[in-house]
Amino acid sequence: MSDFILETHDLQRRFRQGGGLLARATTIHAVNGVSLQVRRGETFAIVGESGCGKSTLARLLLRLIEPSAGRVVYDGQDLTALGAARMRALRSELQFIFQDPFSSLNPRMSVASIIAEPLRVHTTLSSAARRARVADLMARVGLRPDMSDRYPHEFSGGQRQRISIARALASGPKLLIGDEPVSALDVSVQAQIVNLLEDLKQEFGLTLVIIAHDLAVIRHMSDRIAVMYLGEVVEQAGTEALFTTPRHPYTQALLAAIPVPMPGARPVRAHLGGDIPSPADPPAGCKFHTRCPHATDLCRSTRPALLGAAHQVACHHHATLPRPDLPLGRTGTRSPAAAARFELFRAASQTTSPTGKETTQ
């Protein structure tokens, strides 16, 4: 068995946009030559700003959309070459959690039938056994099983995301891909879902791939990270390495832009000027050169390859770039008294719910 549960090789996806009688259609390279490897049992994160192609990539990984070129290999099998029936069977192992818990649940299905649907498709359980399994899954994700006859609109955003997670777990997946699974939620609810995903990952031995733009969530959850810019991976490394010694100028700018929740922490920031260029008309060479403070003629003409072993970076000049001064490593100035108050809150919140697991009412 290979170390990697999921690999992509030079994965590409192009979209045609516009076009008609008089206008010529433009081609957008949403994902442009992405090769990455996800290790069994890890949490792998894909980050980037809007329009970088991360959601397209997430859908390609599960073949929810077809690639224009390249391969996706899951557990030694080339997903892109599988026939429909084989792919359908394999989907029990590959599940997806969407960002918006309001539009990803069918409003006309009860919670029980939403969670039971993968069981009907992928298993031969009797209806009684399905009901028992649904109740079990609901309890596992922190929903009261007696709410199974209710409809999605009767639940809050956090509860709906729990329903989505229960549905994703129903078929016994090995790999779970979440496209911004917590970004639509309030901070305190987000924390509940992050903790839940981590517990479930442990309990079911899952591999998680998380797409997100919130770098704090990413740092908290993931083992390794790929940073995307305009359809390409510009840097890929272990979480600690990426946050402490980012090598690509884009990663450096991204990290420098994060507001740090510590008053007075941020130094005067070097601005990353301008907007992300249109993916319909991307710059030649390194796609970041239009915003990069270190760009040279080489960057404007030649696309850098993603090179390196554990810490990969796609930049001609990464070896000679100055190290950025990031405020991220500095820890807060919480007093010992404040730390004791946080501990008091933590201890009390664990004793109020006897299992130590958060449930909604």
Binding site for another protein (CB under 8 A): 49-50, 156, 158, 186-192, 194-195, 198, 213, 215-217, 219-221, 240, 243, 253-254, 256-266, 269, 271-276, 328-335, 337-338, 340-342, 344-346, 348-349, 351-353, 358-361
Output the CA torsion sign for 37, 40, 45, 51: positive
Count Cα atoms within 13 angstroms, Cβ side, for 278.
6
Least gap, CB of 294 to another protein (angstroms): 16
Torsion angles phi and psi, residue 234, rounded to 5 = -100, -20
Pick the closer one to another protein by CB: 116 or 227. Answer: 227
Q: To the nearest whole angstrom, how small is the minimum distance from the Cβ of residue 22 to another protein?
A: 20
Contact assessment for residue 139 and residue 111, using Cβ atoms and an 8 Å cutoff: no
Q: Which is nearer to another protein, 2 or 278 (CB)?
A: 278
* Nearest to another protein of 10, 275 (CB atom): 275
What are the φ and ψ backbone dihedral angles of 146, each rounded to 5 degrees? -75, 0
Please say which residue, 70 or 249, places its beta carbon nearer to another protein: 249
Nearer to another protein (CB atom), residue 67 or residue 158: 158
Q: By C-beta, is 83 or 263 nearer to another protein?
A: 263
Asked if residues 266 and 327 have their Cβ atoms less than 8 Å apart, the reply is: yes
- Tell me the CA distances in angstroms from 147 to 103, 142, 152, one per residue in order: 20, 11, 10
Alpha helices (H) in 103-146, listed in sequence order: 111-122, 127-140
Nearer to another protein, 65 or 276 (CB): 276
Note every long-range contact of 154-161, with CB atoms under 8 Å and residues 24 or more positions apart, other chains counting: 155/111, 156/189, 156/360, 157/101, 157/102, 157/184, 157/185, 157/186, 157/189, 158/185, 158/186, 158/189, 158/192, 158/193, 158/360, 159/360, 160/101, 160/102, 160/105, 161/97, 161/101, 161/185, 161/193
The least distance separating another protein from the CB of residue 82, rounded to whole angstroms, comes to 36
* Dihedral of alpha carbons 359, 158, 41, 66, sign: positive
Q: Closer to another protein at the Cβ: 65 or 191?
A: 191
* Cβ 84 to another protein shortest distance, Å: 37
Long-range own/partner contacts, residues 187-193 (CB < 8 A, 24 or more apart): 189/156, 189/157, 189/158, 190/217, 192/142, 192/158, 192/358, 192/360, 193/158, 193/161, 193/162, 193/165
Q: Which is nearer to another protein, 79 or 197 (CB)?
A: 197
Give min distance, CB of 89 to another protein, in A.
36
In the bound complex, what is the minimum distance in angstroms from residue 120's beta carbon to another protein? 31
- Taking the complex as a whole, the smallest distance from the CB of residue 102 to another protein amounts, in Å, to 13
CB of 155 to another protein, least distance (A): 10
Token code pair at residue 32: 């442009």
What's the closest the beta carbon of residue 168 comes to another protein, in angstroms?
A: 21
Q: Give the residue from 212, 282, 167 showing the smallest Cα distance to 55.
A: 212
